[in-house]
Structures are given as C-alpha cells and as structure tokens.
Chains A and B, each alone.
Chain A
Amino acid sequence: MTISRETAINLVLALLLLAVPFIAMQLGKPFYVTLATRMAILGLAAIGLNIALGLGGLVSFGHAAFFGIGGYAAGILASHAFSGQPLDFGLFAVPGSKLMPVIWAAAILAGGLLAAAIGSISLRTSGVYFIMITLAFAQMTYYFAISWPAYGGEDGLSITIRSTFPGVNTLVPQNYFLICYALLVVGLVLFALLRDSRFGAALQASRQNEVRVASVGIAPFRIKLVAFVISGMITALAGALYADLNRFVSPSMLSWHMSGEFIVLIILGGVGRLCGPLAGAMLFVMFEYILGGLTERWQFFLGLLLLGVVLFARGGLIGLLAGRARHG
C-alpha cells in the first residue's frame, strides 16, 4: 500500500498535536497543554466550516454564530445545573446538566437549528450576497447576546466548574485535551467520509457547476442546506468545548472577528484539504503565542502574513508541503 504525500503529512500533523501535551508535561510547562487543546478545538470548528467552504464553496462569514451558540448551550446548561433551576421553554422545562455528552448533544442541536434557519434564507443567494448575509445574521446573534441580560449580557457567563465525563477526571488538563482530541479525530473522519460519499460528490459538483447538478436531477439547494447544517453542528460542538476549556462564554465568541479567524485558519492550512483546518489552527495558535510574546502589536504582523499568504502562497500550508490537490 502506498501512502500519498498528503496522507503522510496529515498523519504527522495529527501525531504531532497528540504528542504536544506529553512533551509539555515532560518539560514542566503545563500551559502548553492548554495551547494544544485550543489547537484541537479551533481545528474542529474550522473542520465544520471547511465542509461548507471547502467542499461546498459556501463562503460563510458567520460561523461565529454557531461557535457561540454551542458555547452558550454549554454555559446555560451548566449554569442551570449549578443553580438547580430547570431551563424553562414555556411548553416544557429541561433540567440543567453538567454531563459533557448531554451538553454536546444540546450544542449540536442548537447549532443545527440555527444553521437551518440562517441557511434556508442565506442559501437563496450566492456569491457576495451570501458572504454579507451570513455576516449580518451572525452579527444579529451577537447583538442579541449583548442585549439579553438573563445570561450575563455583555459581561458573559462564567462556568463555575468544568463539566464532567463519565469515568474521566476532566479537571486534569491532559484528560480534557484527550477528550477534545478524540472529537477532533471524529470530526476528521466524518469530513473524510462525507467528502468521499455520494452526498459529498454532489456537494462538490454543485460548487463547480450548479446547473449541471440540477440537470442530472439533484436539487443543489437541499444539498447545500444539509451541508450547511452539518457544518454548523460541528462548529457548535467545538464552541461547547471552547466554553468548557475557558470556563467562560461571552458575546465575543459570536463576534465577526471569530468568523474571520475561522476562514483564516482554513486558508492558512489549505482550502478543502482534510487536515487544512488542523494545520491552520496549529499554525495560528503557535503564531499567536510566539508573536504575542514578542510584541503587543502581533495582529499587525498577522495581517501582513495573511496578506502575503493570500497574494503569493495560495494553497496554504498543506498545499505548500503536499503540492496541489489531486482529483480522482
């Protein structure tokens, strides 16, 4: 069996990230475990976006909405679990929860519903309209979170204690990293399965030529909507993990800078590539940490770097290392 260069690079990247916490503990720098966890979570969020953006060509500038709603799902459930008051939906009430699987399911559900609502309106348009509309809807959720005081409003919501997972002590940073890493791997596998499925073929075909897809009897709108919803669900799950990592959720998770960052991660790594988002997230977090330590003005240099990548190095890191994407 021959392994392509891209697969080899993907394996190296995945193992590299897995090794970071163990090396960090050996070196006595537990802070690096948190950095590695951030890489895994942001990578997962960007894998979600990569389904819409990379496979479907849907340039969503509003994925912070899904990231944020996942975070708020975690924060709200945890705060109700802490206060002991059930979460009242009017017709029925749900008790709060500290169990990660429950929180994840809630985040995925909330993200999926929001993506279905936003997608069913935004996908009626395309191109620049789509970019601006997804941005506008994300901004709507941002302003809603700020003006709704029940869950902290502008100040955000603290999660008193990290949620639990049966049989695992989640308060140990390495354990929490492994949970996030496992979900990252699930996300990668899901992306690969989706990409190579009939559905993925139809999705990629609708990116390339919508009219042809329609003429062979596949409705592009439905394909794209389903992809958008799956994409939103994965990003929402990452949001829940991120909230639990920081034990804090605030409207800044919904801000448009976040949406921009997700796109940046994908571009840095390589659009539509399996491990593009992961490579981008690792690069971005490392860059943020190293440059942030050197200068307060690190965003200035990040801007310059990005500009350089867009203008001169298309294909991102994976493209640079593995060459152009091959079809077939």
Chain B
Amino acid sequence: MQTALFIEQILNGLQLGVMLFLMAAGLTLIFGVMGLINLAHGSLYMVGAFACAAVAGATGSFWLGLAASLAAAAAAGALVEILVIRRLYERDHLDQVLATFALILIFSEGTRWLFGSFPLYLDIPPLLQGTVPIPGGSRYQLYRLAIIGVGVAVAVGLFLLISRTRLGMRIRAGESDREMIGALGVDIRTLYTVVFALGAALAGLAGAMVGALQSVQVGMGEPVLILAFVVIVIGGIGSIKGALVGALLVGLTDTMGRILLPQLFGVFMDPSRAGLVGGAVASMLIYIVMAIILAVRPQGLFAAKG
C-alpha cells in the first residue's frame, strides 16, 4: 500500500483514539472514584457539541463556542450529579444503568425540543483550516492534527492533575478508600460533584471538537459512548492509563481494519466479495479484539483494583 495513505490512516486512527480517550477518561474516572456506571456520558458529549455549535453560530467565533461547550457540559454534569446521580452511589449497578438510561431519554428528547430535529453544522475555525504536508507526498487536514494535539495535551494535563495536585491526591484517595478520606475531613460530596463535572467537561470538549468534523445531531453521543465502553473494558475500568492505551488501540484497530481487511481478504477471494466480507468483519473487529483480550485478561489490560 502507498505510504501516504498508510500514514493518513494512522493519523485518522490516532484522532479517533484521542477523542475516545477524552470520553473514556471521564467514564473511567467516575467509575474509579464513585463506582458509578454512567450511560448518560454520551449525552454530555452531545451537550458539548450543541453548546459549541449554538454559541459559534450566534457569535461567529469557534473559540467562544469551545469555551461554551466546556462550561455547558460541566454545568450539565454538576447539575445532574446533584439532582440524580448523588442518590445512586449506594445503589446497585442495575439501578444506575436504568437511571442513566432515563437521563439519556430526557437529554435527547430535551435537546430535540430546544434545537429541533435538523442537525446543526459547525465550521472549522479559520486558524485551523487548510492542510499540511505529510511524508509520502500527501497532505493532511490541520484541524485533525490539532485534535490529536489537544488529546495529547489533555492526557498530560490529567496525568499531572492526578499525580501532582491536591485535587488529584484526593481523587486517588477516593479511589482507594472512600470512608477514610471522609473521616479525614474531606468534603466527599463536593469532591464527587467536581469529579463528575470534570468528566463531563472532557466529554463536552470531545463533542465540540468532533462537531466540526461531523454534523451536530441528537443521538451523536451514543455510538461514541459504546466505543468508550469497549475502550475502558479493554483498558481496565478505573485506570486512566488503561483508558489511554485502550483508546489508541481501538482507534487504530477500527481505522486500519476498515482499510486493510478488504485487501487482506482480496488475497484469496475475488475483489467484490472481499470488499463485502472484509467490510463486515472490519465493522466487528474492535469487538473481536475486545473478546480476545477479555479471554486472556478478564479484568482488562491495566486493572485498577483486584
């Protein structure tokens, strides 16, 4: 295969990977600290995208939109935590699944109410329009490179936040022993709200950035949410490092599989049949990878707890 196409696909895979990381990091943090499975995380992604598109459309500035997406998603996250999620920490997973499923219905239908059924569109900001040359003689969208850059920056930032700051210390303490840090006088309710809002803001950021590549519509968060679940199942629930490795693995596997598998099947089939079978297998590839990893390590690659 041509080098240029190959590099382009790797970059696409990385871009999908870092975006999944933004989603998965929030999910895994919320599970690690509060022990909560949050299906409504995809709705926060959608809230971020809609906030960005609405504000960018009204003011003409993508950057204001981006700030709005962070603020709106964090605010929605904090509100939901205080009103609903807070009552679920002591409940079993079934109740959590159901309540957050209900939240999805409310968020999706509510957004449709506010913005109508038609998708919104968000333009790439002028600063990041255009392409840059990549090895092999081809060119690559600058905006997608910027997404990769933001993803890496967030990963480093999260790492520093968790390992170097006071908040990070409390988060780690909350993961290992909830009762103890409460007994030591840390206001655990506020800590939970902050962690939830942080996860929500990351999801909102992902939604806003992807919103400029795709159309902004109701239900856009759900496929991403399920991919993020695959990511944290592979990485080990509760582990940020696992989320990063899992996200890149899923992003690259999915993107490369769609290109390589039809060619691979083409070796021993006629091209049209190979495209068919290869395409069908490629659409299932990440789940197959997940199944194989789980067969070897049922707790994921970097299980946080025993």
- Does B106 contact A307, Cβ atoms closer than 8 Å? yes
Which among A128, A140, A271, A311 is the interface contact of B284 at CB below 8 angstroms? A140
- Does B95 contact A310, Cβ atoms closer than 8 Å? yes
- Does A147 contact B109, Cβ atoms closer than 8 Å? no
A304–B101 Cα gap in the complex (Å)? 11
Which among B102, B222, B276 is the interface contact of A310 at CB below 8 angstroms? B102
Q: What size tier do the contact residues of chain B reach?
A: 35 or more
Quote the shortest CB–CB distance from A90 to chain B (angstroms): 13
Of B5-13, B59-67, B227-235, the stretch lying at the interface with chain A is B227-235
Q: What size tier do the contact residues of chain A reach?
A: 35 or more
- Does A124 contact B295, Cβ atoms closer than 8 Å? yes
Asked if A121 is at the interface (CB within 8 A of a chain B CB), the reply is yes
Residue of B nearest to A298 (CB): B109
Which among A124, A127, A135, A300 is the interface contact of B93 at CB below 8 angstroms? A127
Residue of B nearest to A305 (CB): B102
Which among B99, B230, B279 is the interface contact of A307 at CB below 8 angstroms? B99
Known: A121-B294, A148-B280, A271-B94. A303 touches B233 (CB 8 A): no
Quick one: which of B97, B299, B300 has the most chain A CB within 10 A? B97
Which residues on the B side are within 8 Å of A149 (C-beta)? 276
Asked if A289 is at the interface (CB within 8 A of a chain B CB), the reply is no
Quote the shortest CB–CB distance from A17 to chain B (angstroms): 24
Which residues on the B side are within 8 Å of A146 (C-beta)? 283
- Does A131 contact B93, Cβ atoms closer than 8 Å? yes
Asked if B132 is at the interface (CB within 8 A of a chain A CB), the reply is no
Q: Which of A44-84 contact B (CB under 8 A)?
A: 53, 59, 61
Quick one: which of B222, B282, B294 has the most chain A CB within 10 A? B294
- Does B109 contact A144, Cβ atoms closer than 8 Å? no
Which residues on the B side are within 8 Å of A135 (C-beta)? 226, 229
Q: Render A135-155 as a binary contact track against B, CB cut-off 8 A, 1 for contact.
A: 111011001101111000000
A184–B113 Cα gap in the complex (Å)? 38
Which residues on the B side are within 8 Å of A125 (C-beta)? 294, 298-299
A111–B291 Cα gap in the complex (Å)? 19
- Does B109 contact A299, Cβ atoms closer than 8 Å? yes
Asked if B110 is at the interface (CB within 8 A of a chain A CB), the reply is yes
A53–B31 Cα gap in the complex (Å)? 22
Asked if A256 is at the interface (CB within 8 A of a chain B CB), the reply is yes
Residue of A nearest to B277 (CB): A148
Residue of B nearest to A117 (CB): B291
A263–B108 Cα gap in the complex (Å)? 19
- Does B93 contact A306, Cβ atoms closer than 8 Å? no
- Does A306 contact B229, Cβ atoms closer than 8 Å? no
Known: A300-B105, A306-B101, A311-B87. A132 touches B287 (CB 8 A): no
Which among A137, A144, A264, A297 is the interface contact of B280 at CB below 8 angstroms? A144
Asked if B237 is at the interface (CB within 8 A of a chain A CB), the reply is yes
Quote the shortest CB–CB distance from B42 to chain A (angstroms): 11
Which residues on the B side are within 8 Å of A108 (C-beta)? none
Which residues on the B side are within 8 Å of A310 (C-beta)? 95, 98-99, 102
- Does B106 contact A136, Cβ atoms closer than 8 Å? no
Quote the shortest CB–CB distance from B271 to chain A (angstroms): 15
Which residues on the A side are within 8 Å of B84 (C-beta)? 307, 311
Asked if A110 is at the interface (CB within 8 A of a chain B CB), the reply is no
Asked if A133 is at the interface (CB within 8 A of a chain B CB), the reply is yes
Asked if A25 is at the interface (CB within 8 A of a chain B CB), the reply is no
A131–B105 Cα gap in the complex (Å)? 19
Which residues on the B side are within 8 Å of A30 (C-beta)? none
- Does B109 contact A300, Cβ atoms closer than 8 Å? yes
Q: Render A287-301 as a binary contact track against B, CB cut-off 8 A, 1 for contact.
A: 000000000010110
Asked if A302 is at the interface (CB within 8 A of a chain B CB), the reply is yes
Asked if B104 is at the interface (CB within 8 A of a chain A CB), the reply is yes
| 12 sampled A-B residue pairs with Cβ under 8 A | A59-B93, A121-B295, A136-B287, A136-B290, A139-B287, A148-B280, A256-B226, A263-B94, A267-B98, A297-B109, A306-B105, A310-B98
Q: Which 8 A-B pairs have the closest CB atoms?
A: A303-B105, A300-B109, A306-B102, A303-B106, A140-B287, A143-B283, A132-B229, A307-B102
Chain B residues packing against A (C-beta within 8 Å):
31, 37, 84, 87, 93-95, 97-99, 101-106, 108-110, 112-113, 222, 226, 229-230, 232-233, 237, 276, 279-280, 282-284, 287-288, 290-291, 294-295, 298-300
| Other contacts beyond A131-B37, A264-B98: 5, CB < 8 A | A59-B97, A121-B291, A137-B291, A260-B101, A299-B109
